A and B are shown apart, each in its own frame.
Chain A
Amino acid sequence: QQPVQSPQAVILREGEDAVINCSSSKALYSVHWYRQKHGEAPVFLMILLKGGEQKGHDKISASFNEKKQQSSLYLTASQLSYSGTYFCGTEIDGGSYIPTFGRGTSLIVHP
């Protein structure tokens, strides 16, 4: 079942922060995050496993709340290079463990 991402789009100025949310109606085993720049392939950011993980990746970090069946991606002090579409992929706990991707959140960072 496809996870729901919010917001659909975010427009920022350099240096501002953003939060992208990913939620599921089913219990999750893991959440994957990818970024795709225009005209390119998606690129892996991080995977969070159930157990309430938090991970960081330079100024991009994420949390996973398995009780709420949701994950949030935090982008702090946004840079122009952060522009792109962010996708979350979720693995259902007890399911096939094949990730299903959301529809994406478009992030545009202006100078």
Chain B
Amino acid sequence: NAGVTQTPKFQVLKTGQSMTLQCAQDMNHEYMSWYRQDPGMGLRLIHYSVGAGITDQGEVPNGYNVSRSTTEDFPLRLLSAAPSQTSVYFCASSRTPGDEQFFGPGTRLTVL
């Protein structure tokens, strides 16, 4: 099992550009989530999904969109990148929201 995979590992964007961070899991987990991690701020939830076709907002959803068309994939879209979105992004999955979460290796995003 590959677990949770994320691509790309690093990305540099210019302000206003859009992009999609990819996340996939092969554990047949229903629950998937996206976090951003900034120094001293911990892990903040952006969006989450409790199953294919079901998504909801977390603590910091502004500027991000998600969709969940399959159980395996949960992409995160930045619509118009801003310097405030410079961060490390982690995708995670678990059987249910309250279970052990498996995190992907992260994507380090810099917006200039």
Contacts and interface: CB of A to CB of B under 8 A. Distances in A.
A109 interface: no
Interface of B, secondary structure class, is loop
Contact of B106 (A2, A41, A103, A104): A41
A98 B97 contact: yes
Interface residues of B, number: 22
Contacts of A104: 42
Interface of A: 2, 29-30, 32, 34, 40-44, 47, 87, 89, 91, 96-104
Contacts of A87: 42-43
A108 B27 CA distance: 33
A101 B100 contact: no
Nearest to A45: B100
Top 5 A-B pairs, shortest CB-CB distance: A41-B103, A103-B42, A101-B43, A44-B100, A101-B42
Given A40-B105, A87-B43, A104-B42, 8 more contacts: A43-B103, A44-B102, A47-B98, A91-B98, A98-B33, A99-B101, A101-B44, A103-B40
Interface of B: 33, 35, 40-45, 48, 58-59, 90, 97-106
Q: Which of A29, A40, A99 has the most CB of B within 10 A?
A: A99
A97 B100 contact: no
B42 A41 contact: no
A33 B40 CA distance: 17
A98 B90 CA distance: 16
A41 B101 CA distance: 11
Contacts of B101: 32, 34, 42, 44, 99
